[in-house]
Amino acid sequence: MDTEVSYNFDDIRPLNNDEVKDAIEALIANEDFERAFRYIKPDVNWKEFSETMRSFKTKEDFKSKLAYEAVMNVANKTTFSLTISGRSRLPKDKQPCTFISNHRDIVLDASFLNVMLYDVGYGMTQVAIGDNLMIRPWIETLVRLNNSFIVKRGVSVRQMLDVSRTLSAYIRHTINETKESIWIAQREGRAKDSNDRTQGSVLKMLNMSGDKDIVSNLMELNIFPVAISYEYDPCDFLKAKEFQMKRDDPEFVKSQRDDLLSMETGILNNKGRVHFTLTQPINDQLAALDKDMEKNELVAAIASIIDKEIYKHYRFYPCNYVAYDMLTGTKRFSGNYGQRDKKHFEEYLQGQLDKIVLPNKDEAFLRTKMLEMYTNPLKNHLANQE
């Protein structure tokens, strides 16, 4: 069923089905879109592809056919495996949820989750995506055609309150009126060091559109944390490079070109094993909170509930254990990997470090930062057990 949205959502909502035809024609005619698509699929017959595109009459057609196929193509080429667990914890009546996950890859976190939710019969979510990634007009057309909604980031402090209220109202409308699930990252931007923490500002934004107390308002959104575990992060060397650039120049700000490179690197390169765990809806835990707590304390307590679900449900690979022992100079986890695993990770690490080009390259610092990326999820998991 098509989404009925009020006018004030028009600049952030996904396309409506009556806008699909024009959007597809605009994409087909766009040379940048064609160039990008050929980059991923060099042998495409553009005329045949254009006819296939024109056969899609609804967003559902586009998502379930072309977008699904494109994501699975990426998974087949760049992962050893893509798996999901916890499907039995999905609502049996397909009740809409707000899936909140840790954030590793700009494009693929939500894309991989959606194809797997589709495969298990739950259906795809609407996806929150930052306007900083709308680097070209065709990208915005594509993501809105693919049922994503836009999170405005590049606005003044004065505008931010209105923008956040509109976003919050849209999410609540989507869950409660349109009856569609949504995905949103637990924080603005990826956790570059993989030290995953839910930002209070995200929870405060979700609360804005409610008319009750914060606990009741968030319970209405059916928050469902998701733990994402990539064996290898193709962007690890780019993230490490950014850490040094920020260390050496506190004024350093990423450019649009940096975001584009991160998207491209994340999509096209090896990720090894990738696993998503559907943890569990947290409404029972929210209901047990003391609503008389001070608001910021409540926000911190809710963030902690989400974080603990994610920490508990990570999946670990030999590289995580090797990285922990290398970083701490111990053999605490030597029983979790063999010499071949260790050698493989050391070679991988050096290969990624060799990709970093900086005038004053601090290899020891960069190595530490990369080891932290593979160690922090394990550290948080262990701390959560104590």
Q: Which CATH number goes with the domain that contains 214? A: 3.40.1130
Q: Per-residue b/e over 48-82, b at no fewer than 16 CB within 10 Å?
A: ebbeebeebebbbbbbbebbbebbeebbeebbeeb
> What's the rounded mean pLDDT across residues 28-51?
92
Residue type, 108: L
**Residue 62: closest CA among 134, 148, 178:** 148
Judged against a pLDDT cut of 70, whether residue 271 lies above it is answered with: yes
Q: Are residues 284 and 350 in the same domain?
A: no
Residue 362 — very low, low, confident or very high, per pLDDT cuts 50/70/90? very high
**Residue 349: closest CA among 329, 377, 379, 369:** 369
Alpha-carbon distance of 284 to 303, in angstroms, equals 15
**Given this model, what pLDDT does residue 154 score?**
83
Q: Is 183 exposed, middle or buried (0-12, 13-18, 19+ CB in 10 A)?
A: buried
Q: Are residues 346 and 252 in the same domain?
A: yes
Q: Which two tokens stand for residue 373?
A: 């990326």
Alpha-carbon distance of 289 to 234, in angstroms, equals 39
Q: Are residues 160 and 64 in the same domain?
A: yes
Judged against a pLDDT cut of 60, whether residue 275 lies above it is answered with: yes
Alpha-carbon distance of 37 to 28, in angstroms, equals 10
Q: Are residues 162 and 32 in the same domain?
A: yes
Q: Are residues 373 and 294 in the same domain?
A: no
Q: Of 315, 340, 370, which closes a domain?
A: 315
**Given this model, what pLDDT does residue 132 score?**
87
Torsional sign, CA 31, 33, 39, 41: negative
User: How many CB atoms within 10 Å of residue 115?
Assistant: 21
Strands 223-230 and 272-278, by their bridges, are: antiparallel
**Residue 179: closest CA among 96, 122, 91, 117:** 96
Torsional sign, CA 256, 261, 267, 272: negative
Are the C-beta atoms of residues 20 and 56 closer than 8 Å to each other?
A: yes
Average pLDDT score, the chain? 95
**Residue 1 domain-assigned (yes or no):** no
Top pLDDT among 8 and 164 is at 164
Residue 386 — very low, low, confident or very high, per pLDDT cuts 50/70/90? confident
Q: Number of folded domains in the chain? A: 2
List, for residues 133-150, the tens digit of each pLDDT value.
Answer: 898 899 999 999 999 999
Judged against a pLDDT cut of 50, whether residue 5 lies above it is answered with: no
**Given this model, what pLDDT does residue 7 score?**
44
Which residue pairs from 147-152 have beta carbons closer than 8 angstroms and sit at least 24 positions apart in sequence?
A: 147/14, 147/59, 147/63, 148/14, 148/110, 149/12, 149/13, 149/14, 149/174, 149/182, 150/11, 150/12, 151/12, 152/12
**Residue 66 domain-assigned (yes or no):** yes
Q: Are residues 213 and 335 in the same domain?
A: no
Are the C-beta atoms of residues 235 and 265 closer than 8 Å to each other?
A: yes
**Residue 302: closest CA among 98, 104, 87, 153:** 98
Alpha-carbon distance of 152 to 130, in angstroms, equals 6
Q: Are residues 20 and 140 in the same domain?
A: yes
Are the C-beta atoms of residues 102 and 183 closer than 8 Å to each other?
A: no
Q: Are residues 322 and 377 in the same domain?
A: yes
**Given this model, what pLDDT does residue 135 score?**
87
> What's the rounded mean pLDDT across residues 92-100?
95
**Given this model, what pLDDT does residue 11 score?**
92
How much is the pTM? 0.94
pLDDT above 70: percentage of residues in the chain: 98
**Given this model, what pLDDT does residue 4 score?**
43
**Residue 22 domain-assigned (yes or no):** yes
Torsional sign, CA 47, 48, 53, 54: positive
**Residue 25 domain-assigned (yes or no):** yes
Q: Are residues 102 and 16 in the same domain?
A: yes
**Residue 313: closest CA among 196, 158, 189, 209:** 196
Judged against a pLDDT cut of 90, whether residue 364 lies above it is answered with: yes
Show the domain range for 188.
7-232+270-315
**Residue 196: closest CA among 186, 182, 184:** 186
**Residue 2 domain-assigned (yes or no):** no
Q: Are residues 370 and 305 in the same domain?
A: no
Residue type, 99: F
Residue 229 CA to chain centroid, in angstroms? 11
**Given this model, what pLDDT does residue 2 score?**
42
In the numeric block, the tokens 């600049």 are attached to 11
Strands 126-130 and 148-151, by their bridges, are: parallel
Top pLDDT among 340 and 257 is at 340
**Cα separation values, 290 from 167, 219, 303, Å:** 27, 14, 15
DSSP conformational letter for 121: T
Angle between helices 363-385 and 318-328 (to 10 degrees): 110
**Residue 20 domain-assigned (yes or no):** yes
**Given this model, what pLDDT does residue 356 score?**
98
**Residue 254 domain-assigned (yes or no):** yes
Residue type, 32: D
Q: Are residues 110 and 213 in the same domain?
A: yes
> What's the rounded mean pLDDT across residues 197-223?
97
**Residue 147 domain-assigned (yes or no):** yes
Judged against a pLDDT cut of 50, whether residue 158 lies above it is answered with: yes
Q: Are residues 274 and 323 in the same domain?
A: no
